[in-house]
Amino acid sequence: MYQVKAGDITKPVWSKARDELEEMFQVDVRSVQLPIEPDDRVGILIFNGHLKDHVEPVVEGWLAEQKRDHHRAFEIIHLDAIVKWIVDNRLLSDLREALAELGVPVTG
């Protein structure tokens, strides 16, 4: 389950995203969406920015609370992690191709 955000995560953005992430676990996964019930559920917040310095400790505390009190797993995937994933999986050509299809100019 995931939420996608654009840009840096500020306090107001985090407040909204946090509620959306919690809501993921409050809704049953219907059989129409998946043929079987999953063994594990992970909530993912992916965004093309970074956590602002004053938001990062708040997010870390929330993640610990969710794991400890609710046994919920979350991943926070920011710009650096996206770039690392692209490089580690040798997807630079695929990225260039996808950007070209979208008409996004690529230099270098």
Domain residue ranges in the chain: 2-77, 80-108
- For residue 17, the model assigns a pLDDT of 96
Q: Along the chain (108 residues), what's the average pLDDT of each consecutive run of 10 residues?
A: 95 96 86 74 95 97 97 96 95 92 87
- For residue 46, the model assigns a pLDDT of 96
- For residue 34, the model assigns a pLDDT of 74
- For residue 32, the model assigns a pLDDT of 61
How distant is the alpha carbon of residue 57 from its chain centre?
17
- For residue 36, the model assigns a pLDDT of 78
- For residue 31, the model assigns a pLDDT of 63
Kindly tell me the burial class for residue 73, based on how many C-beta atoms sit within 10 Å of its own C-beta (0-12, 13-18, 19 or more). Answer: middle
Cα–Cα distances (Å) from 10 to 14, 50, 95, in that order, read: 6, 9, 27
